[in-house]
Every structure is written in structure tokens, then in C-alpha cells.
Structure 1
């Protein structure tokens, strides 16, 4: 098992950033680590990489106790932080040579990594001459330079244009064949295109940990409906095929149905039968984005 997190909590004074978080991951898995801002994603990643210590819990990476042996654990981890910390006055190859010396990596790996992340045409430049997208590639090259078993990427596609997104997406998929990849992003399409598993975290607690296929194979649809006045949830329970529901404000409901039938007509009939007016009515198949909104709003 490449990653094993057991009952990890982290508190900053009285504020809890993480609470009893547990999950594990095996080689060959690409996991999307999702959550709204402030959910605890970056905190968890920093704990995994040994940059900060948890208040409680245990973290193993490649069976190495990160809390007891952080330097040993970091040898098997590649990490790209959210705010990519680069030495901007260095040349690209100079920066990667610096990283190679830290990890005692054969410098022949530098050119291999440069080619892998698509930096060949820019490798002769100083880092401060590069666009944000290419700077992100430098950080990714540094993260994979020592051929780590576990790759942790915090917002790895920040600043990339659509063509670069496709290239980095394919690279992550390729790396995921023989590594464990855990990456955080706000772009749901990236997760659906790359990941085979999703973890959603909110307020320091895991809400969902499932394979992506399990989330797609459920024939679910979400109806967003706004009535002309507030109704109680027992009325929503009268609707057929309801899986879950959430009241976004006094008059708007997000209702999840499991049915192949378009449930908008059912909701419309329900409103008429109960003397309600519908101010807006929208439906969509339940994809990762709608699931994310449903559980994190």
C-alpha cells in the first residue's frame, strides 16, 4: 500500500483543519482530492509530505512512517505545491540540476524529464522568462525527477492553456500507471478525464471516497427548482424516486432522483397539486460537478 492515512487530525489553536481523516491508496491509482477552499486539502498534502505534523493520527507512505522518518519518506514522494516555489533567477536546466544533486539522481534524468513535461523548447531560458504554464511544467519536472513512487500534486494545471491541459493530463495518466498519484484541483473535468477514484473533503472531514465509475453508474439526475414560497421537506419526500435533497435557501431545492425518466414533469405536476408556482426549473444528469455542489454547498 503506497499511502495509508489513519485518523489524522490537525488543529491550529481552536480551529480544526482536519478531523479524523482516514484513507489509503495503492500503486497505479490516480485519485482526485477535491473540496471547497479551506476544506483541508493542502493541509493533508503537507502532512503527507512531512512539511507539517498532524495533531493526531498516523501517516505511512510506502510503509514509511512520515512522522518518524520524514526525510526517508520524502525520497519516495514527488510534490508539486499549490504555489510552485521556484528559484526564478535560475535557468531551467540549472534548477533541475540543483534538484538532481539533492536527491542524488543521475543527471541524465534531467533531459528525460524535460522532454516528458514538454519543456524542451524552453529549457535554455531562465525561469522568470517563462509563462506561468511553463513554470508549472518546471515544478512538475522537479517533482518526478527522482522517479518517486508517490506523486502529490496540488493544483497542477494552474495557468495552463487548453492545449497544455491535454498534454499534462496525458502525462499524469501515464505517470499513474506505475505510481500512486494524489492531486487536488477545482476543475471537475480534469478529474473525470484523469482519475479512477475521487475523495471529497469538506471542513476537514471526508464526505465521499469512491471510484469514479461508481459515481457515474447510477442513472441519477438533479433537479434544481425554485418555488414561489418556502415549503417543508416532508412535501419533497412525497415525490417518487427521490434519493436526496438539499435546501439551498428558503425557496430553492436541489433534488436528486434515481430514474431514467425526466423528472421535471413530475416536479411540475407536484407543484400544481400543492398550489405552488415554479419560478425556475432545471435538470441535469448527475456528474461529478453536480455531486460536488450537492455535498459541499
Structure 2
């Protein structure tokens, strides 16, 4: 697959504050990269550097093989960007706005109208193309924001929180569009909705305190998902050391003396051994319930592990 973004050893300082520290990653055609991070993690700063809106304090960015700092104009021709608030002129019609954006992108007169038609069709805007943008629903305005980002058919599409404020049906439609775009482009999707990453992306990376703490394919997340949690309750306080020694048990989190969360490896499920041990010791098992582990749990555990 074609390498579309090469970000190497990116740093960004605000005075003495290091907002982004030694971030490196790549994006290939056909990949949809979910970019996650808590507030203040450096996610927005990184995305602004990728778009050429901020200059890295050090490090390099290549867009489609072109150095962004040395040849910004050429590099940016391969970029399409949707900020968290779409840059819309609400007194224009959809058609007028896309015509204006196409001229900004330098599309020729012969290429402009076909590009507008294609963008409107891909984003489901044909039925509203003559309506004023200010009269459109939030969902259609978000679609229009994506349309302006893909109008010039860029190789790289960067979408910042594209589904914020949308209803469930609109969210499903936008996610389907993102998956479609990812088949022929490289897409970076910034979002706080972790289920969106699982639904739309091929890869995920998490940034925390300015550093990447995870960069993995969605398929590769299986290694992080190979752990589960058992909620265990007994009438008498058990000996946690003896339970922790059972094969498959990773660690025990005592909520109270008789209520435990037992973290275990799914591939070596110790449920039967735990049940037998508790009954044999006379602690009187009252509950043993598996708790589903989601990407939210991975996100929280990774970011908590990195706290100073």
C-alpha cells in the first residue's frame, strides 16, 4: 500500500511546555486511523501539525512523499481537512459553497462541476444542493463539511470529531461514508467515541500527555482484549493470595473484603478452578459473573497506567 503520511519524531513546545513529545507514525492508502486521546493529550496539536496549521518544534512530516515544511503548498494539495466546526458559509447554497471551495482548491473549470457532483453524491447531498446551508440540519451540514474536504479528491483525509452532535441514524450514515472513503484514501479520524473506532477504523492510536502509548491495528487489539474480569462475591472473606496463585489469574482487585474483581486471561479461563477453590475453602460463593471488557477499558487502563 502507498505510504501517504510519514510523521517522524514530532515535538511541539509552547514555551517550556512540551505538548507533543517524540510522536512518530505512518498512514497508508486503505487505512482509517482512529486517533484517540483525553483532553489536553496533544491530539489536536498533532493534527494541526499534520495539516500545516502549526509548525513542529522539531521532527518532520511528509504528505504523499512531499516534505510539509519544505514544500507546504504541494504537500497540502494531497490533504482534505474537516475541523471540529465545519467552515461553512450559511448564506450560500450547498452548490454555491462547493463551487467556491473547488475554486480555492484550484480545480479547473472542466474538472469543477464533475468534482462537485461526485462529492455531493458520495455525501448524500444531491437532494439539498440548492438549499441554503443555514436551513440544513446538523447532519447535512456535517456531510457538507466532509464534501468540501474530499472535493479535490485528496489522498489524505483528516476528520476531527465528524459525528459530534448527530443523531444515531446520522452517525451510522457518516461512519459508513468514512469506511467507504478509507477504501481509496488514507483517513485519520479524531474522535472521543471509542465505539466509532471499532466500527470505522482499521487502526487505532492513543496519545496521552503528548506521547503515543498505543499504535495498533484493530485486529491486533486482540492481545489487549485477551483479558477479562470476573466479579466475585463470597459470604466470608477469601484468601486472595491463594486465589491469585490459580493459573490464568492475572491480578485481584479487592472492592471489599468479600467482593473482588479478578482479572484473568481469556485463553486460560480460571472460572471453574476459582469456583472449586472457594467452595473447598468454605468461603461460600455468592456470585461469579464475567464482566465484558470493551475498548473503553483498554483506553482507561492504558492512560491510567501512564499517569505520573
TM range (shorter): 0.7 to 0.9
Q: Does the aligned pair in 2 maintain the 1:220–1:256 contact within 8 Å?
A: no
Structure 2 unaligned spans of 5+: 234-239
Q: CA deviation at 1:140?
A: 0.2
Instruction: Give a deviation string over 1:45-101, Cα, whole Å, max 9, x none.
Output: 110010011111111110111122222111100111112222222221111111100
Q: Report the 3-state secondary structure (helix = DSSP H, G, I; strand = E; otherwise coil) of the residue aligned with 2:54.
A: coil
> Which whole-Å CA distance do the structure 1 matches of 2:10 and 2:162 have between them?
24
Larger Rg: 2
Q: 1:235 to 1:126 in 2, by over 3 A?
A: farther
Quick check: 198-207 or 64-73, which moved more? 64-73
For 2:303, the equivalent position in structure 1 comes to 296
Q: Does the aligned pair in 2 maintain the 1:222–1:285 contact within 8 Å?
A: yes
Q: Report the 3-state secondary structure (helix = DSSP H, G, I; strand = E; otherwise coil) of the residue aligned with 2:221.
A: helix
- Coordinate RMSD, CA, aligned: 3.3
Q: 1:217 to 1:110 in 2, by over 3 A?
A: same
For 1:126, the equivalent position in structure 2 comes to 132
Q: 1:12 to 1:256 in 2, by over 3 A?
A: farther
Q: Which one of 157, 173, 177 corresponds to residue 171 of structure 1?
A: 177
> Which whole-Å CA distance do the structure 1 matches of 2:299 and 2:133 have between them?
36
**1:105-116 map, 5 Å:** 105=107, 106-108=111-113, 109-116=115-122
> Which whole-Å CA distance do the structure 2 matches of 1:44 and 1:246 have between them?
37
Q: 1:211 to 1:234 in 2, by over 3 A?
A: farther
Instruction: Give a deviation string over 1:112-140, Cα, whole Å, max 9, x none.
Output: 11111112222222222122221111110
Q: Which one of 191, 194, 198 corresponds to residue 192 of structure 1?
A: 198
Q: Which one of 84, 102, 105 corresponds to residue 103 of structure 1?
A: 105
Q: Report the 3-state secondary structure (helix = DSSP H, G, I; strand = E; otherwise coil) of the residue aligned with 1:31.
A: strand
Q: 1:172 to 1:69 in 2, by over 3 A?
A: same
Q: 1:282 to 1:90 in 2, by over 3 A?
A: farther
Q: 1:7 to 1:161 in 2, by over 3 A?
A: same
Aligned length: 292
Query: Is 1:207 the equivalent of 2:213?
Result: yes
> Which whole-Å CA distance do the structure 1 matches of 2:83 and 2:261 have between them?
35
Q: Does the aligned pair in 2 maintain the 1:26–1:180 contact within 8 Å?
A: yes
Structure 1 unaligned spans of 5+: 228-232
Q: TM-score, normalised by structure 1?
A: 0.84
Q: 1:71 to 1:13 in 2, by over 3 A?
A: same
> Which whole-Å CA distance do the structure 2 matches of 1:296 and 1:79 have between them?
27
Q: Report the 3-state secondary structure (helix = DSSP H, G, I; strand = E; otherwise coil) of the residue aligned with 1:167.
A: helix
Q: TM-score, normalised by structure 2?
A: 0.81
For 1:230, the equivalent position in structure 2 comes to none
Query: Is 1:162 the equivalent of 2:164?
Result: no
Instruction: Give a deviation string over 1:133-165, Cα, whole Å, max 9, x none.
Output: 211111100000000001111111122222222
Q: Does the aligned pair in 2 maintain the 1:119–1:138 contact within 8 Å?
A: yes
> Which whole-Å CA distance do the structure 1 matches of 2:209 and 2:276 have between them?
38
Q: Which one of 51, 54, 70 corresponds to residue 52 of structure 1?
A: 54
**1:270-285 map, 5 Å:** 283-285=290-292
Q: 1:222 to 1:293 in 2, by over 3 A?
A: farther
Q: Report the 3-state secondary structure (helix = DSSP H, G, I; strand = E; otherwise coil) of the residue aligned with 2:184.
A: coil
